[in-house]
Chains A and B, each alone.
Chain A
């Protein structure tokens, strides 16, 4: 059930009404948990079995760690093994399904699909267990609360990957309706719908066309890359905005996932602004532990500088998808981070001139676009062909097509740039801002039946 579908609006209206009719925390949590499982199982009810079974096991293993801290390594290892095993099975199953079907002769294997959101809630649960094992979090004894933390429907499909320290205390606290909920929610809901329906879905058409061409020229590839750079930001940040907006309406304040990522001036800065809940998860559970371990082992300085970022980004690549392009994308970002740390001159924003800041930004933006081209490329061989063997501009028709792509990108990027400008320059409650939201609302009505593709991050 997509956040932009009419079924979801009906579903949310029912949940919202029932939820606020209850005053007690327990009743509210039970309603939310039931709604979350209903939402999650909407397309494939058996997916709730995977979610429910893994949640139950993790809950009891977390309590086991608390009961017997001497065996915490064993329990946390079991949780990581189980969760990553389930994730790897479902992610890599499609790759090996033909061989498995031949081996087992069972047709049921052909129908197994990756449960949506598995990558997201797996990280949520692993983070929870590791925090319990590190004594930085006391596990909840209430199964409903834990199950709700894992399956909370505004987040279960595509995040944000909220930390237990942020979400669990809110689940454990009584909630009453406040006008502030609505005040915080409505701008997010409008921007979410606007970015998804007007921007992301409109630009998706040209992106899909370019990245399905057999032999795109380099100029077409760049135009497609620029368009995808806009599409993925609009699409994913739209999902986060809607998720946060719906959470606010239920009385929850969830994590902000984007902080103007395309204004980043270097790779580390980019990852501090893009998909923040995933970046901080990777930083806390992969990067820091890997670096600590290497320092403990007294590894050479160049290794402690290089390996943790590359390893972290490679894991990020694998998390995003199956295939060499995702691995290459992770490696690319890892290498860029290392190169920046090692060779790039430090930029002091206070003393640097505007031109220098602009140049630094332009280089980083180009690095970002190249990264997204790798990410969106259908295969390494396709990318190789386009980058090394195809001409730069191609025929007049190909140049015009690429210019069309750039035109659409600029056109649909404009409202997001205006919003950025308003956020920086205008007063929050100004007439300008109100005008922007009103225009965005009317645009949503105009565009609402033009296309209905799913959010990109549903695939992960």
Chain B
């Protein structure tokens, strides 16, 4: 009992101390507005490339796009200059931020925005927004991101999390503290032994963890586990999820800026044909098609395309070089037809 009493006493003392020190140290208002703080200056600058290159078509997606489409080949097949933005691990929050902060505000707006997605990704706003993904989002977020905060974070919080986020500074500043600990702990040995600091270790990390060096056949399970969130029953209800997602805003931004939005549903080898598809996903895609039809959005569905055979995949989601050629050819064909109409 004595240990417990001492523990409680120390815990309360520390909790009180950090509640005063943290707001002072981080110059944080109290109570703190809900949701994470983002650096007001967006650092990723795709807009500059779009303004300079003036592409007619922008491709937007995650690593599936990187491994699935050759932009130069697609450009030749569609006779439309093409710019590809593939951000590894991006969820719908990233797709929304790029559309809003990079594409919709570019001086030279593309005629087509082709967004790659799988299954319920477009209406799952909290998919890949925590942990390391938050850094990625931070790099794309601007100073006013009310919708992002509401859909991706605040809507997902319980009342306890909301209260802690506002009134308990240690909780609300957890990301900043955690990141600064992580930056320091991984450089201890490289810095001491090789004089390699933060920037140098980051370069080494990017160089070694180049996705091409990964043993892709080993990633099947990890990919499936990582994607489980997309197949939760509540996330497969399109009608309910739509108003809580970024999709209506992406559609609005495109329609108001004269950009034709094309949604491309990609294939994976977990469920490669329609016959074996989960009934929830079948219904979801039907509803999505209906929604797209009503909102001037084109939906191209390659999820069960037989031409993309399993041997063309390097893992469950990503295509090999031969697969990339094939998918570029298939998509080029579909887009050319669409552009001609």
Interface of A with B (CB < 8 Å)? 6, 107, 110, 179, 182-183, 186-187, 202, 205, 208-209, 212-215, 378-379, 382, 396-401, 403-404, 406-408, 410-412, 428-431, 433-435, 437-439, 441-442, 445-452, 454
Contact = CB atoms under 8 A, between A and B. Distances in A.
14 contacts: A213-B214, A213-B215, A397-B204, A397-B207, A401-B204, A403-B193, A404-B186, A404-B205, A408-B185, A411-B185, A433-B3, A438-B10, A438-B14, A446-B181
B174 A449 contact: yes
B194 A399 contact: yes
B337 interface: no
Contacts of A6: 158
Nearest to B174: A446
B14 A403 contact: no
B260 interface: no
A454 B7 CA distance: 29
B208 A401 contact: yes
Nearest to A394: B208
Contact of B208 (A213, A407, A441): A213
A207 to B, nearest CB: 12
A445 B185 contact: no
A183 B3 CA distance: 9
B168 to A, nearest CB: 8
B77 interface: no
Contact of A450 (B131, B200, B203, B209): B131
B219 A434 contact: no
B196 interface: yes
A33 B190 CA distance: 52
B1 A183 contact: yes
Contacts of A396: 194, 204
Contact of A404 (B171, B201, B214, B215): B201
Contact of A208 (B15, B182, B222): B222
Contacts of B3: 187, 428-430, 433-434, 437
Interface string B273-292: 00110000000000000000
Nearest to B130: A449
A214 B215 contact: yes
B334 interface: no
Contacts of B50: none
A403 B132 CA distance: 21
Q: Which of A182, A183, A442 has the most CB of B within 10 A?
A: A442
Contacts of A107: 275-276
Interface in B203-229: 203-205, 207-209, 213-215, 218-219, 222, 225
A406 B193 CA distance: 12
A389 to B, nearest CB: 14
B178 interface: yes
A380 to B, nearest CB: 13
B7 A434 contact: yes
Nearest to B186: A404
Majority DSSP secondary structure for residues of A touching B: helix
The 4 closest A-B pairs by CB, nearest first: A434-B6, A411-B185, A400-B204, A438-B10
B131 A449 contact: yes
B111 interface: no
A446 B14 contact: no
B189 interface: yes
B105 interface: no
B279 to A, nearest CB: 12
Nearest to B211: A212
A437 to B, nearest CB: 5
Given A187-B3, A212-B222, 11 more contacts: A214-B213, A378-B218, A401-B209, A403-B193, A404-B189, A437-B3, A438-B11, A445-B174, A446-B181, A449-B174, A451-B132
Contacts of A454: 225
Interface in B1-60: 1-4, 6-7, 9-11, 14-15, 18
Given A404-B201, A434-B10, A447-B178, A212 B218 contact: yes
B187 interface: yes
A83 B201 CA distance: 50
Contacts of A404: 186-187, 189-190, 201, 204-205
B186 A408 contact: yes
B72 interface: no
Nearest to B36: A449
Contacts of A448: 174
A187 B15 CA distance: 18
B335 to A, nearest CB: 33
B170 interface: yes
Contacts of A205: 132
Contacts of A379: 218
A433 B3 CA distance: 8
A431 B13 CA distance: 13
A205 B225 CA distance: 15
Contacts of B194: 396, 399-400, 403
Contacts of B214: 212-214
Contact of B201 (A209, A400, A429, A450): A400
A429 B6 contact: yes
A403 B7 contact: no
B177 interface: yes
B204 A407 contact: no
Interface string B158-178: 100000000010110011011
B188 A407 contact: yes
Given A438-B10, A442-B18, A446-B177, A411 B219 contact: no
A430 B4 CA distance: 10
Given A401-B208, A403-B190, A451 B131 contact: yes
